[in-house]
Structure 1
Amino acid sequence: MALKDHSLDDKIIKAAFDEFMEFGFQKASIRKIADRAGVTPGAVYTRYDSKDDLFCSLVSNFLSAVKTQSEPIGKMYYDLLESKNVDDLLDAIRKEEKIYLDILFQYYDECILFFCRSEGSSIYAMMQKMMEHKTVETVTFLKEMAQGDIDLDGVGMIMGEQFHYYQQILEKGYSKEKAVSCMKTVETFLEAGWRDLFERILQ
């Protein structure tokens, strides 16, 4: 059995990044990635089972970072269930947004693939599930905090928009400084709504 030439790994990864960044998942092909890397399609398939497998591998570090940060973020909120202090809850939202913005710029190219180039891949389906999971988590948290029955159907719409904020930052190519400035404007509007919701829940 022939040994795999590991010297080609970096060439294939770079070629795949360039191809997916330029054309997105649906229009990219293993053949074109192989051409960019100067290898045969077989050399790519030796390393990856499919185009989807290759695409997923390119965003794995970003997904690991999100997973690592998700648990402490969740704990941060649930530590506030007993105190039910509105200002502390708003501060937690600001901290969460900063954490995710930091991750976005730490894994900038991977985030472009994830948010803007993944349609048609299993990653795109994963993104939808992440949005749904975040919505369910938030609604569950608010119901635990609530003193009585309250309609929370609109929360799902709010949570869905948060993903689009990050998508727009990437699509517009904002610097981190510009992104932080934009998110502060967004926070100004959202915090008024969150404050009203928290206060109604805690009545």
Structure 2
Amino acid sequence: MSKPDRSIDPRIMESAKKEFLAHGFEKASLKTICQEAGVTTGALYKRYKGKEDLFCAVVADTVAALDGFVEMRSSAQVKDLSDEELVGAWEMEESMPEWFRFLYEHQEGFTLLISSAGGTRYANFQHDLADKMTAKTYEYFQEAKVRGLTHGDISEEEMHILLSAFWTAVCEPFIHGYTWEQMEAHSRIICSLFHWSRALGFDAPVI
């Protein structure tokens, strides 16, 4: 029994990525993808159920990498953190460049997820990302309140709204095709704009 020819898979993936980036999922053409890859539509359908299945395959590595990165950054048990670590978690001068470096390494996949995924299971990716981050972020904040490290008073719903605004600011330069130098400058602006310590009451005496 002959083995399936997998040599054309990279061509399909690269062609699909290019087409999805140029036109978004809904306007992307499977016919164009096949023509650019030099394969028949039959060959494509032997590998993918349809256009959404192909899109999900294109972004799969980015989704897995992002899930792993988020898990790594949120794996700490807040009760095990020192007061200094808990307060320092809101200072972004070190963490923000790390985020941008990671996202820039996965730039094409991340851009697809935040700007080209309408009509797929990832249509609400940016909102879902903010939602995923809210629970752990609010856990940090609540622990700081219990320890008397902050005088802030904010609900989990408000935290979600703030994080949604924050992630919009993070995502926009990818949508606009910023260079790495522009990303670095943007990262510094975000650190100034989103002064979490001040907004959440970490930089004033607890009454």
Please give the TM-score of this superposition, normalised by the length of structure 2. 0.83
| Counterparts of residues 118-133 of structure 1 (less than 5 Å) | 118-133=117-132
Q: Contact conserved, 1:58 with 1:110, CA < 8 A, in 2? A: yes
How far apart are the structure 2 equivalents of 1:121 and 1:94? 35
In the superposition, relative to structure 1, how do residues 163 and 76 fare at CA in structure 2: closer, same or farther (>3 Å)?
A: same
How far apart are the structure 2 equivalents of 1:126 and 1:168? 14
Letter aligned with residue 119 of structure 2: G
| Counterparts of residues 1-203 of structure 1 (less than 5 Å) | 3-75=3-75, 78=78, 81-83=81-83, 88-91=88-91, 93-147=92-146, 150-152=153-155, 153-191=157-195, 193-199=196-202, 203=207
How far apart are the structure 2 equivalents of 1:184 and 1:163? 15
In the superposition, relative to structure 1, how do residues 16 and 135 fare at CA in structure 2: closer, same or farther (>3 Å)?
A: same
Q: Contact conserved, 1:145 with 1:202, CA < 8 A, in 2? A: no
Deviation per CA, 1:115-146: give whole Å up to 9, x if none: 22112211223443222121222223312321
How far apart are the structure 1 equivalents of 2:206 and 2:56? 42
In the superposition, relative to structure 1, how do residues 77 and 115 fare at CA in structure 2: closer, same or farther (>3 Å)?
A: farther
Q: Contact conserved, 1:77 with 1:89, CA < 8 A, in 2? A: no
Structure 2 portions without partners, runs of 5+: none
Deviation per CA, 1:51-78: give whole Å up to 9, x if none: 1121111122222222222233114583
Relative to total residues, which structure has the larger helix share, 1 or 2? 1
Q: Share of identical aligned residues, percent?
A: 22
How far apart are the structure 2 equivalents of 1:73 and 1:95? 13
Letter aligned with residue 181 of structure 1: A
Please give the TM-score of this superposition, normalised by the length of structure 1. 0.84
More deviation, 102-111/29-38: 29-38
In the superposition, relative to structure 1, how do residues 46 and 158 fare at CA in structure 2: closer, same or farther (>3 Å)?
A: same
Structure 1 vs Structure 2 CA RMSD: 2.7
Q: Contact conserved, 1:16 with 1:33, CA < 8 A, in 2? A: yes
Equivalent position SS for 2:74: helix
How far apart are the structure 1 equivalents of 2:117 and 2:206? 40
Structure 1 portions without partners, runs of 5+: none
More deviation, 9-18/148-157: 148-157
Deviation per CA, 1:91-123: give whole Å up to 9, x if none: 3x3433222211111111112211221122112
